Chains A and B, each alone.
Chain A
Amino acid sequence: MSFLIEVNGTKRTVDVAGETPLLWVLREKLVLLGSKYGCGAGLCGACTVHLDGKPARSCLLPVASVGAQKVTTIEGIGETPLGRRVQQAWLAADVPQCGYCQAGQIMSATALLSKTPHPSDRDIDGAMAGNLCRCGTYARIRAAIKKAAGLSTADARTP
């Protein structure tokens, strides 16, 4: 079947079965390889994209259900001032180790900050707990989110 979806501001027609998860449409049909496969079950968040600005796990999302919602991926997130700021904060904090999860982390972080510009540690926990980082870069992810939010990057949590 043919579907018209808007990805990073461009309308694209893809010819795939309607139940095909958006992740595989992005990766294999549109060759947008930034969104990653990690678990196929919505457990790791490596495939996180935005639908109308809200985070969604593209590995579980049938392309047929996207409809008119605007899809933003890691390749397009830098087009918004907030997304750009988050990317810059990630660079400044030297967050990645292997880097495989970081696209998903940045997408979740940007969605958090667009809704909650000055997140508490609890807000960060709530928004980011669905994104696994197997390398354990969580302290830097937290610091980068705070930096992008213009908050002090010190880990404010007391033991």
Chain B
Amino acid sequence: MSARSSRRSFLKASLAAGGGLLLHAMLPLPARAAAAAGAPGGATLNAYVTIGADGTVTIVAKNPEIGQGVKTMLPMLIADELDVEWSSVRIEQADLDAAKYGRQYAGGSTATPQNWEPLRQVGAAGRAMLVAAAAQSWGVPAAECRTASGVVIHAPSGRKLGYGALAAKAASLPVPALASLRLKEPNDFTIIGRPLPGVDNAKIVSGKPLFGIDVTVPGMLYAVFQKCPVFGGKVASANVDAIKALPGVRHAFVVEGGRSLTGLLPGVAIVAESWWAAETARGKLEVSWHEGAVRTQSSSGFAKAAAELAKETPQHSLRRDGDAEAALARAAHRLEAAYSYPFLPHLDLEPQNCTARVADGKVEIWAPTQLPGPGAGLVAETLGIPESAITVHMTRVGGGFGRRLRNDYMVEAAWIAKTVEAPVKLLWSRADDIQHDFYRPAGFHFFKGGVDSGGRLIALSDHFVTFGHGGRVADSAGMSAGEFPAELVDNLDYGMSTMQLGVPTGPLRAPGANGLAFVFQSFLDELAHAAGKDPLEFHLALLGGKDAAGTSAKRSRRSDFDTGRLGGVLELVAEKSGWSKRRALPAGTGMGIASYYCHLGYFAEVVQATVAPSGDVKVDKVWVAGDVGSQIINPSNAENQVQGAAIDGLGEALGQAVTIEGGRVLEANFDKVRPLRIDEAPPVEVHFRLTDNPPTGLGEPALPPAIPALTNAIFAATGTRIRELPIERAKLKRA
């Protein structure tokens, strides 16, 4: 496909999606509008770029910054093609404005693939307009002009004009046709590919207010909101009059709420002169709840029910290739294993919070959110106010991980602010945050696998027991028919059964993959060992080996999945980790390998772990090899993301679960749900394999393989197979 036709198809796609991103982005504001926007002497070239008379370039960062680095990375794309010095660029965080910016969100590791070309086009269009302005001023053909570091140069005459001097004229010129734009060749990048620090770093290290929790509005009150500990419960009665009499408390009231777990829930709001006063008053709150039907649900109950369901035929067939049963019967080595993983919380370090002001029929929201648009929609619907009357300011977000794709805290703040007729900052306590999450759903997998005498995987079946009802699975609780290694095994059977769940679930960093990679990559490791094969060789054989030209001989029919790229990162990580020399490791120390493809990224990881006789697991080191295409846009952030994702995965495996009992979550703080700490965090060595593919995102895909690489390492170190998360030290204790 030529670059031109791909641009045209982008334009079409964006119109079809209703976003109109590019067209809007390309509409230059008239010079007078730019002046009215308060940039003295400045000119707005398009929705993203304003150039001041002094040459200062202001670039709008359109998406929420949740720590994934987009507030730096997306403007880098524009700045490079605009051809300015990064040091002359100021970044401004956009408010929610779909008409100007199209979809604004943080999720799915999509910022890079969705913006790699369009935002470079935004920069290139701006550059073309500046060149046209200079050419007109000089009366020379634009083709004789070039740009460098914010200056247009007419080479034949040696004349130069800075962008600042050209901005006003450029803004009055027509927007160039997309097809006429020439993007830079990678060799000409001056900003893309440079390790640039985060644009908010100076504010972060000096404690400047940036986050949702830091928002201060004149006359603001502080709120806590107590919901029923049992999901779906309602308030029967509460001692709100007694609460109102407590020091500093201004308001206390019952919120009727609705039934949708993603909307405004029933509860009791306490609004006070300080958050501490509100939180202290909550200690005296007495609520009688109608707990409802979910109170009978528990983690242990689900595990029992899943084991019972596993004895039956799956309720739904996801995929059936060949005849797995017959192939199993003739396999030289047969294995059966039951795997499971628990409900997981998100543990954003900045607890859910939102500040809202409702006055004169208008709503103003300041929120740390990954998905501001639907948040505004939810507020509009719940408060009965048109969406056009709602302004959402996106603050920096103290951790997203998928939690803030839901905007329940936003509608709570808006409702409370409307009720008390004053600006309100709602802040959840840590217990609120852990006990009212949208959890990564638990999952149960019952595998059978068979390997022939040559060590080839000939049969695989999985009965996946998950949550749902009537053929519909709960949010983030599904498995696709293409789940790896589908299409690479001749006889394969994926079936699914569901259990009804009243606990809210949702996406957690690398949703689906964060559980599926663990179970499939662990079971494949089991099969490799059963066949007496090196797990690396077993994986490479599964991917089809190499043909004479060195490319993968076998292609999955899944159009978006390239077995050769996965094999490439497996080989790279094996080389970097010294995989072939692992037998020389001391007793009690082992290496595990795993790979996974998700969010358009290919990752393979090796973990080296040491298990003490006490059962304590120490992760010695992690090696990561990733393939996210042809270009690492910001190598500093890329390394940071990958290291963080690996640490995150290890933390989930070693210390995280929430326990449902009586329809509620038992854990309430970081003592019981443990992210990794610095003394437990291993060095993570990161390597990228650059391939001729469009660049893709890094927020998520490095996480999933870390977990099975760890559990496979524990097997190598101890001979004990971990089939249930989180890892229980008692199971690894040697007498």
A-side residues, CB < 8 A to B, are 16-17, 20-21, 24, 28-29, 31-41, 43-44, 46, 73-75, 78, 87, 90-91, 94-103, 106, 124-126, 128-142, 155, 157, 159
**Which stretch, B143-151, B293-301, B347-355, touches the partner chain A?**
B347-355
Judged by a CB distance under 8 angstroms, whether B604 is at the interface is no
* Cα A28 to Cα B671 with chains together (Å): 27
A134 and B210 form a contact (CB under 8 A): no
Between A and B, 19 residue pairs with Cβ closer than 8 Å are A33-B213, A36-B350, A39-B430, A44-B670, A75-B207, A91-B202, A94-B637, A95-B201, A96-B67, A98-B65, A99-B201, A131-B678, A133-B349, A134-B347, A135-B67, A140-B640, A155-B683, A159-B620, A159-B682
* Cα A157 to Cα B347 with chains together (Å): 29
How many B residues are at the interface, by size bracket? 35 or more
B-side residues, CB < 8 A to A, are 65-69, 195, 197-198, 200-202, 204-211, 213-214, 216, 222, 247, 274-276, 347-351, 396-401, 427, 429-430, 608, 620-621, 636-637, 640-641, 643-648, 651, 669-671, 675-679, 681-684
Q: A103 — which chain B residues lie within 8 A by C-beta? A: 204-205, 207
Q: A39 — which chain B residues lie within 8 A by C-beta? A: 430, 669-670
Residue of A nearest to B672 (CB): A43
* Cα A91 to Cα B682 with chains together (Å): 22
Chain A nearest CB: distance from B162 CB in Å?
A: 29
Chain B nearest CB: distance from A8 CB in Å?
A: 10
Residue of A nearest to B66 (CB): A98
B683 and A125 form a contact (CB under 8 A): no
B201 and A90 form a contact (CB under 8 A): yes
B205 and A46 form a contact (CB under 8 A): no
Q: B222 — which chain A residues lie within 8 A by C-beta? A: 28
Besides A100-B398, A135-B67, A136-B646, 9 new A-B residue pairs in contact (Cβ under 8 A), listed by A number: A29-B274, A41-B670, A94-B201, A96-B200, A97-B640, A98-B350, A99-B211, A135-B640, A139-B643
Residue of B nearest to A102 (CB): B204
Contacts A34-B206, A44-B349; is A97 near B648 (CB within 8 Å)? Answer: no
Number of A-B contacts (CB under 8 A): 182
* Cα A21 to Cα B678 with chains together (Å): 26
Residue of B nearest to A16 (CB): B274
Task: Give the one of B210, B398, B427, B675 with max A CB within 10 A.
Answer: B398
Q: A126 — which chain B residues lie within 8 A by C-beta? A: 679
Q: B351 — which chain A residues lie within 8 A by C-beta? A: 37-38
* Cα A124 to Cα B680 with chains together (Å): 12
A34 and B207 form a contact (CB under 8 A): yes
Contacts A124-B678, A132-B670; is A99 near B636 (CB within 8 Å)? Answer: no
A94 and B195 form a contact (CB under 8 A): yes
Which residue in A87, A94, A138 is a CB contact (below 8 Å) of B636? A94
Residue of A nearest to B681 (CB): A138
A96 and B204 form a contact (CB under 8 A): yes
A40 and B430 form a contact (CB under 8 A): yes
A33 and B214 form a contact (CB under 8 A): yes
**For the complex of A and B, 7 pairs with smallest distance between CB atoms:** A34-B207, A98-B67, A136-B647, A100-B398, A74-B207, A125-B679, A136-B644
* Cα A132 to Cα B674 with chains together (Å): 9
A87 and B206 form a contact (CB under 8 A): yes
Contacts A36-B350, A43-B669, A94-B201; is A24 near B683 (CB within 8 Å)? Answer: no
Which residue in B201, B349, B608, B677 is a CB contact (below 8 Å) of A46? B349
Residue of B nearest to A128 (CB): B678
Chain B nearest CB: distance from A104 CB in Å?
A: 10
Contacts A129-B679, A136-B644; is A99 near B684 (CB within 8 Å)? Answer: no
Q: B430 — which chain A residues lie within 8 A by C-beta? A: 38-41
* Cα A53 to Cα B681 with chains together (Å): 27
